[in-house]
Amino acid sequence: MSADPLVSIDHWGPEKVVIVSDRKSGMRGVLVIDNTARGTGKGGTRMSPTVTVGEVSQLARTMTWKWAAVDLFHGGAKAGILGDPRSLDKERILRAFARALADEVPRDYVFGLDMGLAEEDAAIFVDELNDRGASTGLPRDLGGLPYDQLGVTGYGVAEASDAAAQHAGIDLKNARVAVQGFGAVGRAAVERLHALGAQVTAVSTVAGCICDPNGLDVPSLVAASKAAGDDALREHASFTASPQQLFNIPVDVLIPAAAAEAITEEVARNTTAQLIVEGANLPTTARAREVLHQRGIAVVPDFIANAGGIIAAAHSSDARYSPFVVDPGGVFSMISEKLRANSVRVLAASQSQDISPLKAAHHLAQDRVMSAMRARGFTPESTPAG
């Protein structure tokens, strides 16, 4: 999608691009509301020194598909602030950004957390606009749901993996599972996979990689990770200081849950995995997707597999004005139900129509958005290409 807001407009959106600035604080930011046919614009707010209008536009479009894929009634949107999230002026900049978008928030858009922002930043948005509905991702003391602490995204990745494996005829209890990344998403995925009886045989972080063909001691590894972070892997006997080694280890299920474009064409050609479940955003290059499809390796796309976070966000959004705390049990139940069903549905459509799982996932989401657009009279003059 082009960085030029006018050039980026297509059949789906964006409906609104708001670029704001503030001379006193130096704040510069953008809000992109992509498509609200299915509901109010919802998507995280990020802060980075490299944020661009084009980047935020792409992310807003991804949110349109993500909400539709899990069949929850929000629209796609995203916001970005150009700046260093470690800046001593961060609070001043966030408050200026909130004030600048007071006409859009919370009527057209609800702030959320993304790269560079934390729970205390969501609280700043709420305080500045004096509106509990201005943001999700609030601290527990303000009625928020602690996404990372609960591990909702990783939990969903594991549930998607289990359902996809069953569909592909893979018994996780006898399969070798490798997880790239052991942060908030990867660690929670490993914990849930272990609870489901899976054998996690390899894990990597930026520090390196460890493996055990008989299965890693997950409880010990999780405890060590919480204490030492990425360096926890260094104490394992199999540790090698090469994170990429993970992709050379024979496995049956591979879960990239860290960096973008980790699955390259070379990895796609050489992996022994029969199933790949995308825990990270955009972890597979376009060429690698082609190779994996040609090899008949099933891939559960990122916006299907890692949608646990937005399901939790939907619960939080619904409870913004409620005096009651969201019940995590209901959140986990919905994550399991929706992500398991979607994973199987996408893989089945991919097989029956001989198209990539990503294309099947896009068809699923686009059909739902188009139906809503028609129902509301948003229908374009010509039918958009898939």
Q: Residue 1 pLDDT more than 70?
A: no
Binding annotation: 42, 66, 153
Binding annotation for NAD(+): 153
Amino acid 384: pLDDT: 52
Q: Residue 353 pLDDT more than 70?
A: yes
Amino acid 184: pLDDT: 87
Q: Residue 226 pLDDT more than 90?
A: no
Q: Work out the pLDDT band at 6, boundaries 50, 70, 90.
A: confident
User: Which residues of the chain form CATH 3.40.50.10860?
Assistant: 16-64+79-142
Amino acid 225: pLDDT: 87
Q: Residue 378 pLDDT more than 70?
A: yes
Amino acid 19: pLDDT: 97
What distances in angstroms separate CA 265 from CA 175, 268, 283, one per listed residue?
A: 24, 5, 12
Between CA 233 and CA 218 the distance in angstroms is 12
- Residue 52 in contact with residue 347, Cβ under 8 Å? no
Between CA 144 and CA 110 the distance in angstroms is 14
Architecture per CATH, domain 152-308+341-363, reads as 3-Layer(aba) Sandwich (3.40)
Amino acid 22: pLDDT: 97
Q: Residue 215 pLDDT more than 80?
A: yes
User: Which residues of the chain form CATH 3.40.50.720?
Assistant: 152-308+341-363
Q: Work out the pLDDT band at 381, boundaries 50, 70, 90.
A: low
Question: What are the residue numbers of the active site?
Answer: 78
- Give domain 16-64+79-142's CATH number out of 3.40.50.2300, 3.10.129.10, 3.40.50.10860, 1.10.3720.10: 3.40.50.10860
Q: Residue 359 pLDDT more than 80?
A: yes
Percent share of the chain, pLDDT over 90: 82
Residue keyed to tokens 């893989």: 347
Higher pLDDT, 293 or 325: 293
pLDDT digits (tens, 9 = 90+) for 45-81: 999 999 999 989 988 998 999 999 999 999 999 999 9
Binding annotation for substrate: 42, 66
Find the mean pLDDT for residues 266-286: 95
Find the mean pLDDT for residues 241-258: 95
CA nearest neighbour of 319 among 331, 335, 337, 333: 331
pLDDT digits (tens, 9 = 90+) for 79-120: 999 999 999 999 999 999 999 999 999 999 999 988 899 999
- Residue 32 in contact with residue 78, Cβ under 8 Å? yes
Amino acid 282: pLDDT: 86
Residues 215-224 as b or e (16 or more Cβ within 10 Å = b): ebebeebbeb
Amino acid 281: pLDDT: 85
Instruction: Specify the pTM.
Output: 0.88
Amino acid 230: pLDDT: 78
List the structure tokens of 34.
């992509």
Between CA 380 and CA 128 the distance in angstroms is 38
Amino acid 3: pLDDT: 54
Mean per-residue pLDDT of the chain:
93
